[in-house]
Each structure stands twice: as C-alpha cells, then as structure tokens.
Amino acid sequence: MARTFVIGDIHGALKGLQQVIGRVRPKKDDRLIFLGDYVDGWSQSRQVIDYLMQLDQQYSCIFIKGNHDAWCEEWMRGDSPNPDWLLHGGLASMQSYTGISAADMRTHLAFYDRMLPYYEEGKRLFVHAGFTHMRGPAREYSQMNFYWDRTLWEMALVVDKHIPKESLVYPKRLLLYDEIFIGHTPTTNYDVEVPMNKCNVWNVDTGAAFMGRISAMDIDTKSFWQSDVVQLLYPGERGRNRPV
Ligand SMILES: [Mn+2]
C-alpha cells in the first residue's frame, strides 16, 4: 500500500532534508508532498532545489509554493530583491545561486513555475500558509494568502477543544475539509518541537529555519520522522535566527 508523506519547511537545509528522507526511506510507489519554503535561511537553498528535482525523478512528488520561494523566484526572474526578503534569509539564497549557468537558471525557474499555490485531494487540503475565504481556496481573493496567511492556524489554535463543531460560531473554513496540512508558522514558536494538530489542521513546520528540525509525516497514520536540529548540521551559520 503506497504511502503519502507531507514535508514541512526546509529553508536551505539540504543536510536536514537528506537526513529526514533517509529516515523515512520512501518506497518507489510512495508519494511526497512538500509544503513549501525550500529556500532562505541555511546556506544550501539552490542545492535543496536540485535535490527536490532529483526526488521528483524517483518518486511521485507534489511541490507547493511558499512565501520564501515566491520571493526568491521574483528575484530570479529579474526583479530587484525585496528588502523584506533580504532580512528574512534571502541573502543566503542569493549567495547559493551565485555563478549559476543560464541553462541551470532556466531549469530552476521552470521548477519554481511548477510549484502549486495549493493542492486539494478529496477532503484533504495541502497549502503552505493558509486561506481566508469561508467557501475555500478556489474563492480566495488573493493568491498571496496561500503563501502568507496565519489566520487559519491562529483560529485553529483558539477554537480547538473550546468550540464544538455543531456550534453556530464554529469557523466555516474549518468545515470544508477533513484535514488541512500547512507549514509557515513554526511550532517552535509555541515551544513544540513536533508537528501540531489543532482542530483539523496539521502544522508540519517544526522550525527548520530557526532552532528546530525538518519533519515528514505520513498523512494517514500521522507517524512522523525528523532531521536532527538543523542548526547542528550547519555549525557556524545562523539560519534565520537573529544575530546576537
Ligand atoms: Mn517558512
């Protein structure tokens, strides 16, 4: 029986990604759904994308686009670097892309272009950050919300176990799917080092950009595998942790 694994934020940590894939040991028929934020933070953003393209040859893969991937792509397409991007790990991505050939650049851009804003399958949704429309992602006002929204998760955090599903005030957004898988908001913000489940939302961003790990979770059994603390794999680097 083929399995599906969902993988949270990576942020340039090739070593962490290879570690977690090595621990999952996917079989040929298994499927990998990546929730975005492949770049920005640790020093191997470009190499993460190369490795994802390689995994794509070996397995059935789905790649969702994160806010950091969107920023990086804008710059790669010729825009001047967004100042916010530079403050949030963009510099490391720019450095990793230094000296890339025109042919490799085209290959990478084609890969960014293929990343999905969200992916829906039956009663499951996979999206980097969230969505806001009560009738679902297809009705969303701005694609930016798929990359940036934090209200879905913050809502799930407060509603969980406090408001019954039958209540008139239960958020309509949370009734659209059986399960919603997201990244974007590190669980380490809440002092949690493993994937978090609130209402029907599963947050698989376990803070790889900061002091946390990369996580992969089986979407059916909810078993999960993690890299080591990414910072330990990149001694001397700061990732997206603030300078002291
Ligand atoms: Mn992120």
The CATH number of residue 55's host domain is: 3.60.21.10
In total, how many domains does the chain have? 1
Evaluate whether residue 241 is within a structural domain: no
Evaluate whether residue 40 is within a structural domain: yes
> pTM for the full model?
0.97
Ligand 1 geometric centre to CA of 1 (Å): 31
Evaluate whether residue 152 is within a structural domain: yes
Ligand 1 geometric centre to CA of 168 (Å): 33
Token pair in block for residue 190: 């809440």
Evaluate whether residue 12 is within a structural domain: yes
Ligand 1 geometric centre to CA of 16 (Å): 15
Answer yes or no: are the C-beta atoms of 190 and 153 closer than 8 Å.
no
Ion ligand 1: residues, CB < 5 A = 9, 37
Evaluate whether residue 243 is within a structural domain: no
Q: Environment class of residue 99 by beta-carbon count within 10 Å: exposed (0-12), middle (13-18) or buried (19+)?
A: exposed
Q: Environment class of residue 238 by beta-carbon count within 10 Å: exposed (0-12), middle (13-18) or buried (19+)?
A: middle
Amino acid identity, position 119: Y
Reading the chain (244 residues) residue by residue, the pLDDT tens digits are 899 999 999 999 999 999 999 999 999 999 999 999 999 999 999 999 999 999 999 999 999 999 999 999 999 999 999 999 999 999 999 999 999 999 999 999 999 999 999 999 999 999 999 999 999 999 999 999 999 999 999 999 999 999 999 999 999 999 999 999 999 999 999 999 999 999 999 999 999 999 999 999 999 999 999 999 999 999 999 998 876 5
Residue-number span of the structural domain to which 228 is assigned? 4-233
